[in-house]
Chain A
Amino acid sequence: MKVALFVPCYVDQFYPQVGIATYQLLGKLGLQAAFPAAQTCCGQPLANSGCEREALPIYRHFVDTFHTYDYTVVPSGSCVYHVQKHFDKLEQTPAVQHVRATTIDLIDFITNILEIKELPGTYPHKVGLHLSCHGQRGLHQANESEMTPVRDGQLRRLLAGLDGIELTELDRNDECCGFGGTFCVSEAAISGRMGHDRVQDHLRNGTQVLTGGDMSCLMHLQGIVRRQKLPMRVLHAAEILNGLTP
């Protein structure tokens, strides 16, 4: 299986450790992922701001970079959702169709493609899982409170399988964190307030390590945790699953 790693633009620049954890985790699962150096971004920041047309060259560049791989694995559900859903604006060549069908979130790749339901490891900490909306509602990686009271999902199961871990039960299991791409600056007051409320839910319910599958939500939440000097570590799920201890 020929697997490429797409490291989202802001992860590449600000959170290299998340890319490294993803790369190493795939290695432990027997896959030598390639990192095509020409990669940049999926174009979502522009498109979500209304500049889909300006994003088209980025889409084409993404397809050119990744169309020769069996899978393009991404440690971010949001980027994957964008590629799958919004690359419909490109002419649907075989390459575009292939990239849309095979660009996949890391957790989906582990559980659905590699069919690994449990990873070895010990993690004796209280962990709060933040569900990214694009991963949960967009890619259907987790149950939604709009539909069912049962809290379940792929990442929740993988984490719950670690020895010694305790998962935080939140008051609001799947409320949006308020990042929202450029929303975080264009609606800074609401974005900040939403993030504050999300972090408080974790704090109230005892989260020591805040994690999730999408670094963009976590970047925003970490910014609030650090501003408020809260006793909480923020880590991408790939870092935990790769065996990092806080």
Chain B
Amino acid sequence: MSYLTHASRAEAFTLDHERTSWHDETLWFVRQKRDKAVYAVPEFQELRNLASAIKDHTLSRLDEYLAQFEAAAQANGVRVHWAANAAEHNAIVLDIIRARGATRVVKSKSMLTEECHLNPYLIKEGIEVIDTDLGERIIQMRDEPPSHIVLPAIHLKKEDVGATFFKHLGTAEGLTDPQQLTEAARQHLRAKFLAGEVALTGVNFAIAETGSVVVCTNEGNADLGASLAPVHVASMGIEKLVPRLSDLGVFTRLLARSATGQPVTTYTSHYTKPVEGREMHIIIVDNGRTQQLGRPDFRASLKCIRCGACMNTCPVYRRSGGHSYDFTVPGPIGSILSPNIDLKKHSTLPFASTLCGSCTDVCPVKIDIHVQLYKWRQIVSEANHLPTAKKLGLKFMGRLLASPTAFKVSGMLGRKGLRLLPYGLTHNKTVNAWAIARELPEPPKQSFREWYAQQAQPAT
């Protein structure tokens, strides 16, 4: 089976020049807000070091901390479930819903449930699932995946939202006022919140020593859902743990500053035990994470706290859009997570980068993202997932560059060819991708080595 490349999807996105500019500038604005928030905290780099060390430590003893977390959560009266993969996770969620005889579910943002494709699974089983995060709700109406992990509908303009609400919520045609659109969504969601029988949430941090989970939102939708519904199900990947409650402050200080430039998320809610007469469940999910933990070069990717800063700063992401990655988590971090899940399908993602390194430098937990991109490229190549023409070309180049004579001769021929061949041939856009947006360098008559050979050299 062949897959569309990132490059082809990215090219389609860039065809709309103005929209690409708008997308780039919108996310660059978020990056600038992040910069301001970061500059204002003198110890920000220290915080990054600390967060990185805490995560490294936690991952090095993940088995112990998971057992500690489970025991503490159970002692709090929480029911803990383990899921090896997406299918197990989804089946557990359905069992909990069915056991209550429920059919209406409200869900706050959770990239894990996106990863598990929970929504389509539950809907097929006759359950109504309503995403309550505003951005998530918008894309749910449009039947689109999120294009960003923090700003899921960032690819849409207010005109797009107006058209979506006109179709699904009956707002006036052509309405684009953000406040009125938001109010329409609030009224719509309020009814859904009140009717919710089971609330699903994600987990930003899980505290091993207390057994509690922490959910960060700006809209308070997780809180409203979990407070109103008699059953709360929190889904978390195994990597969400931090050892102690006192570790949490390091991460809450980094998360919102890195994500949106806010000092802290509007809501940072701790869920420790169910209200009397109610149920609280935590589902701990592996789904490929243990495999990634077993890869020394890539295990640091599990330190990710899903702030999205690498997306906002990535000059490629800003111009190609989140959907060009065709993976639950787009952008640089997604490009080092996805090959672990399906190397062949996602083989072009590690190449969707100039390796500029900005992602690594904004990452609040210091994941060496661009280094891992480079390393995945080697693995993609070794697994023979490079396009054949590219591989052959590179092999030829390898032999050429290891031989001074071949290098000298081919350089001379190349320059001569460029000078003599007609422009229409050297700049043919179907043969030469360089020439789509750029002129080739003007070939000089003499190479440096030819010039140097003519200089009088002092005896050495």
Contact = CB atoms under 8 A, between A and B. Distances in A.
A197 interface: yes
A147 B361 contact: yes
A50 B373 CA distance: 10
A182 to B, nearest CB: 8
Nearest to B398: A54
A112 interface: no
B404 A146 contact: no
B354 interface: yes
Most buried by A among B7, B377, B395, B437: B437
Contacts of A154: none
B402 A175 contact: no
Contacts of B441: 14-15, 219, 222-223
A162 interface: no
Interface string A3-35: 000010101111111011001000000001011
Contacts of B401: 9, 40-41, 43, 45-46, 58, 61
B39 interface: yes
A41 B407 contact: yes
B177 interface: no
A90 interface: no
B438 A192 contact: yes
A39 B14 contact: no
Interface string A164-191: 0000000010011011111111111111
Given A49-B377, A188-B436, A13 B354 contact: no
Given A19-B448, A172-B28, A190-B320, A51 B394 contact: yes
A34 B458 CA distance: 10
Nearest to B39: A149
Given A52-B378, A179-B354, A46 B448 contact: no
B316 A187 contact: yes
Interface string B1-37: 0000011001100100000100010001000000100
A137 interface: yes
A37 interface: yes
A176 B356 contact: yes
Nearest to A59: B402
A232 interface: no
Interface residues of A, number: 75
A61 B402 contact: yes
A95 interface: no
A204 B441 CA distance: 24
A220 B440 CA distance: 9
Nearest to B316: A190
A203 interface: no
A133 interface: yes
Contacts of A233: none
Contacts of A32: 458
A144 interface: yes
B388 interface: no
A160 interface: no
B377 A48 contact: yes
B390 interface: yes
Given A16-B444, A58-B398, A190 B14 contact: yes
A134 B379 CA distance: 22
B361 A186 contact: no
Nearest to B460: A34
Contact of B319 (A43, A55, A194, A223): A194
B436 A192 contact: yes
Contact of B354 (A23, A133, A192): A133
Nearest to A8: B448
Interface residues on B, range: 35 or more
A55 to B, nearest CB: 6
A224 B381 contact: no
B439 interface: yes
B174 interface: no
Given A54-B394, A192-B436, A144 B361 contact: yes
A124 interface: no
A183 B436 contact: no
A75 to B, nearest CB: 10
B386 A50 contact: yes
Nearest to B45: A147
A188 B354 contact: no
A223 B460 contact: no
Contacts of B415: 13-14
A57 interface: yes
A144 to B, nearest CB: 6
Most buried by A among B352, B355, B446, B451: B355
Contact of A12 (B7, B354, B357, B411): B411
A223 B361 CA distance: 29
A61 B390 CA distance: 23
Given A9-B401, A16-B451, A179-B354, A184 B10 contact: no
Given A187-B351, A187-B352, A193-B319, A37 B449 contact: yes
Nearest to A38: B404
B99 interface: no
A146 B411 contact: no
B434 to A, nearest CB: 6
A49 B376 CA distance: 10
B414 interface: yes
Given A7-B449, A13-B411, 10 more contacts: A40-B404, A51-B391, A54-B394, A133-B357, A149-B35, A183-B351, A185-B433, A187-B316, A190-B10, A197-B319
Interface of B: 6-7, 10-11, 14, 20, 24, 28, 35, 38-39, 45, 313, 315-316, 319-320, 350-358, 360-362, 374, 377-382, 386, 390-391, 394-395, 397-399, 401-404, 407, 411, 414-415, 433-434, 436-441, 443-444, 446-453, 458, 460
Interface of A: 7, 9, 11-17, 19-20, 23, 32, 34-35, 37-41, 43, 45-55, 57-58, 60-61, 133, 137-138, 144-149, 172, 175-176, 178-197, 219-220, 222-224, 226-227
5 contacts: A32-B458, A50-B351, A181-B354, A188-B434, A223-B438
